[in-house]
């Protein structure tokens, strides 16, 4: 494989010196880009786009043609695994993800098995390989998955929810069943991320979107323990090159030290925590990724400059910062505001390195 021309992301994740703070944006290939919407229309819908490696590769590269980003992230969805398990992922227009066959019965839960990524998730691995080739070493490619708990939330509830009452009911009333689901999910995510690494992903990230709605004790038992098992089971090197891992728990600011202790290289932060305070808490154990409120991208270039500058200043001098949003970019973001953000970070961050 070609040597990376821009390896600032990898180096920042490993807390090595970099000339500026590398930046990528969660959901950077998405609906705020007119060219994305055109490709999606050609595919028919979001899921068809995910499952078409040619078109998924195309949209993976789109934001890099526009912006000086320091990474690409494979275009996919966090819920590919339960879909491969046979739960039937679909997206109703204007709504979030849904499953045709959510886990409602004990027999269905007991029947659950981890899918072989080479079989049912082939389309993701093909996208990873194609995107890696197309990038030609310009910037690293990030692979990802939802966390075992976040997958379980959608698998049990059958879709998004404001309180995930069914999940929590199972958690407190039948913890054995939830642990069974989480066990299967953890094996599935480990195999899936390792397959992405073998297919060409140079960084992998676990998205724990819903761990933050758990109690302190439940988060540790039902979310973090399984993410830790994944991190322990990941290939840390491929072709002789380190493959850094990022763990992001939305709403996980209270458990930062615990997340930083599971062996990942970097911890993603949402925008509710001051990144300087977070850095003081984790010390030199991990790099930190974040943490601009994506809503700031809906405002003006002046506000973006001020708020991005405040994050760089709060992190301060030294290694280990990857700039990102604290959550996925909004579909209503004016593309020129993304340009303003990236210009600001690239320019203003040099003085901290």
Catalytic residue positions, numbered: 27, 31, 40, 77, 154
Least Cβ distance, residue 98 to its own copies (angstroms): 16
Which CB sits closer to its own copies, 68 or 172?
172
Least Cβ distance, residue 333 to its own copies (angstroms): 10
Taking the CB of residue 336, how many other CB atoms lie within 10 A of it? 9
- Of the candidates 103, 116, 199, 111, which has an alpha carbon nearest to the alpha carbon of residue 151? 103
- Of the candidates 204, 214, 215, which has an alpha carbon nearest to the alpha carbon of residue 263? 204
Is residue 164 left, alpha or beta, with left meaning phi > 0 and alpha meaning psi from -120 to 50?
left
DSSP letter (8 states) at residue 159: B
CB 320, CB 314: distance < 8 Å: no
Which CB sits closer to its own copies, 7 or 157?
157
Among 35, 198, 257, 274, binds its own copies (CB under 8 A): 274
CB 230, CB 188: distance < 8 Å: no
Least Cβ distance, residue 267 to its own copies (angstroms): 15
Which CB sits closer to its own copies, 233 or 251?
251
* Selected range binding its own copies among 120-128, 164-172, 227-235, 241-249, rule: CB under 8 A: 164-172
* Selected range binding its own copies among 39-47, 122-130, 233-241, 294-302, rule: CB under 8 A: 294-302
Among 216, 232, 236, 316, binds its own copies (CB under 8 A): 216
Q: In what order do the strands lie in the sheet with 141-146?
A: 72-73, 141-146, 203-208, 245-249, 266-268, 287-292, 321-325
Among 47, 303, 339, 348, binds its own copies (CB under 8 A): 303
Sequential DSSP letters for 261-289: TTS-SEEE--TTS-HHHHHHHHTTSSEEE
Residues that bind its own copies (CB under 8 A): 163-165, 168-169, 171-173, 212-219, 251, 253-254, 271-274, 277, 293, 295-296, 298-300, 303, 307, 310, 326, 330, 332
């Amino acid at each position: 494989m070609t040597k990376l021309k821009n390896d600032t992301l990898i180096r920042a994740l490993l807390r090595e010196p970099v000339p500026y703070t590398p930046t990528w944006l969660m959901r950077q290939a998405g609906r705020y880009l007119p060219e994305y919407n055109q490709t999606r229309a050609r595919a028919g819908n979001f899921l068809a786009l995910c499952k078409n490696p040619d078109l998924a590769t195309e949209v993976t590269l789109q934001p890099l043609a526009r912006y000086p980003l320091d990474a690409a992230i494979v275009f996919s969805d966090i819920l590919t695994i339960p879909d491969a398990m046979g739960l039937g992922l679909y997206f109703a227009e204007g709504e979030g993800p849904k499953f045709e066959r959510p886990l409602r019965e004990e027999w269905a839960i007991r029947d659950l098995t981890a899918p072989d990524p080479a079989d049912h998730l082939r389309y993701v691995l093909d996208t990873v390989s194609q995107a890696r080739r197309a990038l030609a070493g310009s910037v690293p490619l990030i692979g990802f998955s939802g966390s075992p708990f976040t997958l379980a939330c959608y698998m049990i509830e059958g879709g998004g929810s404001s309180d995930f009452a069914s999940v929590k009911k199972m958690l407190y009333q039948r913890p054995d069943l939830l642990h069974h689901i989480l066990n299967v999910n953890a094996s599935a995510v480990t195999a899936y991320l390792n397959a992405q690494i073998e297919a060409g992903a140079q960084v992998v990230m676990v998205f724990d979107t819903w761990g933050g709605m758990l109690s302190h004790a439940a988060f540790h038992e039902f979310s973090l323990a399984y993410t830790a098992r994944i991190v322990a089971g990941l290939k840390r090197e491929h072709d002789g090159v380190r493959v850094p891992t990022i763990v992001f728990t939305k709403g996980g600011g209270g458990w930062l030290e615990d997340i930083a202790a599971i062996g990942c290289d970097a911890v993603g932060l949402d925008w509710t925590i001051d990144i300087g305070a977070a850095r003081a808490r984790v010390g030199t154990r991990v790099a930190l990724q974040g943490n601009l409120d994506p809503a700031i991208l809906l405002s003006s270039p002046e506000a973006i400059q001020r708020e991005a500058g405040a994050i760089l200043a709060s992190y301060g001098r030294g290694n280990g910062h990857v700039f990102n949003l604290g959550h996925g970019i909004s579909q209503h973001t004016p593309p020129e505001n993304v340009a303003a953000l990236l210009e600001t970070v690239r320019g203003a961050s040099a003085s901290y390195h």
